Structure formats: C-alpha cells, structure tokens
C-alpha cells in the first residue's frame, strides 16, 4: 500500500466528475432541450425530415451512445494517467465482494 497525496486523489475525482457532468449535460440538451423548443426546430430539415423529429427518432439516441463510449474511453485514459491497472482492479474487486 502506498499513500496517495490528497491533491492527487481529489484531482482524480474532480476530473471524473467533470466528465460525468459534461456528458449528462450534452444528453440533456439533445433530448429535453430539443423537445422544449420542438416548434422552433421544426423549421429546419435534416436527412429528409424535420429536425425535431430526426433528433427524437435518431439523433438523441446516437448522441447518447457516443457519450457512453467516449466516457468509457476517456475514463480508461484517466485511470491510466493515475497508474490504475485493470488486472489489479479485478483482483482487489473479487477479494472485496461479499460473495
């Protein structure tokens, strides 16, 4: 066991939290944001159909999927930067379960 500086530990948590807030914000805008101004967006067309309909039927879902994959990739990078290795995580995790 090695002690981690408080600033380092806090920085890890802060970076991860910022990521979560950004992605949830994007997800909120493409779903609730577009719905709230659906009448306004209906004047634009995208892929053959009114923009508000496109966002509801395809756009929002595609953005959601991208958010989740980008979060998984960025989080892995952050873990790596802080010296976290996945195999160590898995071993520690399986010892800690209350199975």
Partner 1 sequence: MDPQLFVSLGLILATFALYIGISIFNRAKATSDFYVASRGIPPLWNGMAIGGDWMSAASFIGMAGTVMALGYDGLAYIMGWTGGFLLLTFLLAPQLRKYGRFTVPEFIGDRFESNPARLIAAIATVIISFTYIIGQLSGSGVVIGRLFNIPAMYGTMIGVVIIAIYATLGGMKGVTWTQVAQYLILIIAYIIPIVFMSLQVTYNPLPWLTYGNVVDEIGAIDRELGLSEYFAPFAESDKSQFIALMFTLMVGTSALPHVIVRFFTVSTMKAARWSGAWALMFIGILYLSAPAYAAFSRFILMTQVANQPIEDLPAWTESWINTGLLQAADTNGNGMLDWTELSVGEDIVVMATPEIANLGLFVIGLVAAGAMAAALSTAGGLLITISSSFAHDIYYRLMNPQATDAKRLKAGRIAIVVSTIVAGLVALDPPGVITQIVAWAFALAGGTFFPVLFLGVWWKRMNTQGAIAGMLIGLLSTLTYIFLAMSGITLFGIQDTGAGLISVPINLLACIIVSKNTPPPAKHLQDDVIDLRYPEQMTYKDGEVWMNDGTDK
Residue span 50-79 as binding mask against partner 1, x where in contact by CB under 8 A, dash where not: x-xxx-xxx-xxx-xx-xxx-xx--xx--x
Dihedral-angle region of residue 48 (phi above 0 means left; psi in -120 to 50 means alpha; beta otherwise): left
Burial class (CB in 10 A: 0-12, 13-18, 19+), 82: middle
User: Please, what is the end-to-end C-alpha distance for the chain in angstroms?
Assistant: 24
89 binds partner 1 (CB under 8 A): yes
Q: Which two tokens stand for residue 84?
A: 């976290």
Under the rule (CB under 8 A), what is the footprint of partner 1? 1-4, 6, 8-9, 12-13, 16, 20, 23-24, 27, 31-32, 35-36, 38-39, 42, 46-50, 52-54, 56-58, 60-62, 64-65, 67-69, 71-72, 75-76, 79, 83-86, 88-90, 92-94, 96-99
């Amino acid at each position: 066991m090695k002690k981690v500086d408080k600033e380092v530990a806090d920085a890890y948590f802060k970076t991860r939290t910022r990521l979560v807030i950004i992605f949830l914000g994007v997800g909120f805008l493409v779903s609730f944001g577009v719905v709230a101004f659906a009448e306004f967006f209906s004047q634009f067309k995208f892929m053959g159909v009114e923009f508000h309909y496109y966002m509801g039927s395809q756009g929002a879902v595609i953005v959601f999927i991208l958010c989740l994959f980008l979060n998984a990739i960025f989080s892995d990078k952050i873990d790596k930067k802080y010296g976290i290795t996945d195999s160590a995580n898995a071993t520690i995790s399986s010892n800690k379960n209350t199975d």
